[in-house]
Amino acid sequence: MRKIPVFIIFISISFIVSAAGTTKNQDTKTFRISKNLSIFNSVFRELDAFYVDTLNYDKMNTIAINEMLSRLDPYTVYIPEKETDNLKFMTTGEYAGIGALITKNGKEIYVSEPYEGMPAQRNDVRAGDVILEVDGKSVTGLSVSEVSAKLKGTPNTTIRLKIKRLGTNKLIEKEFLREKIQVNPITYSALVAPKTGFVQLTDFTDKSAAELKIAISELIKKHQIESLIIDIRNNGGGLIDEAVKIVGYFVPKGSEVVQTKGKSKFTERTYKTPTEPLFPNLNLAILVNRSSASASEILAGAIQDLDRGIIIGERTFGKGLVQNIRPLGYGGNLKVTTAKYYIPSGRCIQAIDYSHRNEDGSVGRVPDSLTTEFSTRNGRKVRDGGGIVPDVKTTDERKLNIAFYIYAQNLYFDFANQYVANHQSIAKPVDFKLDDDDFITFKNFLKEKKFTYTTESEKMYKEFLELANSEGIEKYADAELKALEAKLKPDIDQNINFNKNDIVELLSLEIIKRYYFQKGEIEYSLKADVDLKTAIEKLNDKSQYDNLLSVKK
């Protein structure tokens, strides 16, 4: 008889044992899932049968799902059927409605920002208008989301609004058609210096790359730009494919931009630039801040790792997780984290490890001391685990001062309503300036509104004082504690004057939006933009630009 080699027998046995182990593990996993679902089902049925009060089944189930998912990470969420319109808007930037943002101020629902050129603005619905009725039904007592749902609907259906406007005694009625609203991810583009273009990209929906290509091409055609600044500050991300296409405008076809890796094979994918570069010779600067996340970080990180441009601003958010939408029964969807992504140097910039929580359930950022060093294509040193660190760091010098407490109470918004009622027009954003009389008028307005505020320091002091009293410290430190309390209590008049510049800036932005909409707001804010000025300086000095992309010796 022919003998079977020993090593073949060994391999066969190993395979059988391995397969048996895999099957056993799968059976255990299936049993545990079935067991826990059975327990949940039993609890639900017992509550229904014996709980003293009537149960709201849908609400209880939603709470249970949301609480379970909240223990994983902030991005894994359940999206019920009634919120599928929001899901479409996240991925396409499209919805059907009137094209305006609304907010609640006190008990009333206000139009806070109509989009230029969209149905609300074209039909003279203005920021500051109070919405009283939608399609003949009062909105009193409704939430912002409930009123928003009423404003949305099928394209080309009639909407009727009854609104109240400051300075007009008679109620105003409007009737026009809802339309398909496409929010352009390019909110502003312009020549900001000789041969230097600027484009602000606010998200990564399915048309972001195409719109960016149009904006850049127009800047080249009109102004023959040689340098480009892409602003992705406060851009929370979106579709990976769009970020990859944009990177492809600047680097050779087939360049690796990002890899995704998870526990399932279907999550493992390598994204490469799909086309030849459209703008291979443009000098490039990317503006980022702490709110630049996800696809924004893929764009900035790939440009940095490939040494294709310079990154300017603050360290980015640090979201290195990928989500997919999984359809569920009854029209719902699960947005679930399926993988981590890795940019060209091989680093993952995820800043928070949600898989290792503290005993109280909290999570913290990965400390810099535990991050790993990687290299860009040119050999520059970069690190993982904490967002994208810019090549040129800038900091926001503004503090949490009275200007922001005024903003939190919607008082810039309220004053702008009065200002517009008394000013038919204003200067262009680049020329607009509030004078001293306007500032005095605003100060008087704050007094009329009886504006006051409690600082975070005061709140913490009160907590400290309670603890001090419980330990008896006030007995021998009473004078010092009262002195500290007096110093923490804000002097409103003094603080208003001391922080005049910040107050004037925020007030000016609110007023400018009423006349020149989003573009005017951006144009005004860019006048004193430190990041923009830094980018222009670096791009216009070839030695500085080249030095930032070279390995330091």
Our answer to whether residue 319 is catalytic in this structure is yes
Our answer to whether residue 436 is catalytic in this structure is no
Residue 178 and residue 176: Cα distance in Å, rounded?
A: 7
β-strand 392-393 against 310-313: which pairing, if any?
Answer: parallel
Q: Are 200 and 211 in contact (CB under 8 A)?
A: no
Structure tokens at 408: 């939190």
208, 255, 294, 345: the active-site residue: 294
Q: What angle do CA 378, 204, 210 make, to 5 degrees?
A: 85
The DSSP string of 20-54 is HHHHHHHHHHHHHHHHHHHHHHHHHHHHHHH-SS-
Please, which residues have CB within 8 angstroms of residue 201's CB and are 6 or more apart in sequence? 185, 186, 208, 212, 230, 231, 232, 235
Please, which residues have CB within 8 angstroms of residue 402's CB and are 6 or more apart in sequence? 453, 490, 492, 495, 496, 499, 503
Residue with tokens 């223990």: 71
Helix 6-50, helix 57-70: angle, nearest 10: 140
162, 245, 319, 513: the active-site residue: 319
305, 391, 414, 529: the active-site residue: 305
Our answer to whether residue 34 is catalytic in this structure is no
Closest by Cα among 152, 94, 160 to 123: 160
Half-sphere exposure of 100 toward its Cβ, with a 13 Å CA cutoff? Answer: 30
CB burial of 324-346 (b: ≥16 within 10 Å; e: otherwise) equals eeeeeeeebbbbbbbbbbbbbbe
The dihedrals phi and psi of 346, each to the nearest 5 degrees, come to 100, 0
Closest by Cα among 423, 454, 453, 458 to 438: 423
Which strand ranges, in their side-by-side order, compose the sheet holding 310-313?
186-193, 196-201, 227-231, 283-288, 310-313, 392-393
Q: Are 338 and 324 in contact (CB under 8 A)?
A: yes
Paired strand residues for 326:
334
Catalytic residues: 294, 305, 319
